[in-house]
Amino acid sequence: MKAYSLDLRQRIVMAYDAGMMKAEIARTFRVSRPTVTRYVAQWQDTGHVAPKPIPGRRAYIAASDYPALVTQLTAAPDATLEEHCQTWEHTRGIRVSIATMHRAITATGWTRKKRW
């Protein structure tokens, strides 16, 4: 689910500061009451209501590494995923799984056509 816009969040907090009740704010802006409570608490704690970053692990092969990955793929188009993982570990010093390599190759838009 996408985060609510910063504008909506600010209007919710401004309505609370203007003296509206949380239930009334929730009905007016068509959000849940806990959402209003969270935004008000975040405003009071941090001074802003910007969305928090989405949690999760960082990618082992970052988007900034895609040009190097494409170069590796171009140099060895017939290599298997396992061979690409070994090459990546040898050149970059980072061991990645076959699944990680597959996701990164897919993200680069690379298509493979093996020679027979």
Whether 55 is covered by a domain: the verdict is no
HEC readout, the chain: CCCCCHHHHHHHHHHHHCCCCHHHHHHHHCCCHHHHHHHHHHHHHHCCCCCCCCCCCCCCCCHHHHHHHHHHHHHCCCCCHHHHHHHHHHHHCCCCCHHHHHHHHHHHCCCCCCCC
Mark whether 71 and 97 lie in a shared domain: yes
Indicate if 67 and 42 belong to the same structural domain: no
Domains of the chain: total:
2
With respect to residue 51, please indicate whether it lies within any of the assigned structural domains: no
Q: Is there a single domain that holds both residue 67 and residue 35?
A: no
- 40 and 67 share one domain: no
Q: Which residue range(s) make up the domain with 76?
A: 63-108
The pLDDT tens digits of the residues spanning 15-66 come to 999 999 999 999 999 999 999 999 999 999 999 999 988 788 888 899 999 9
Reported pTM: 0.55
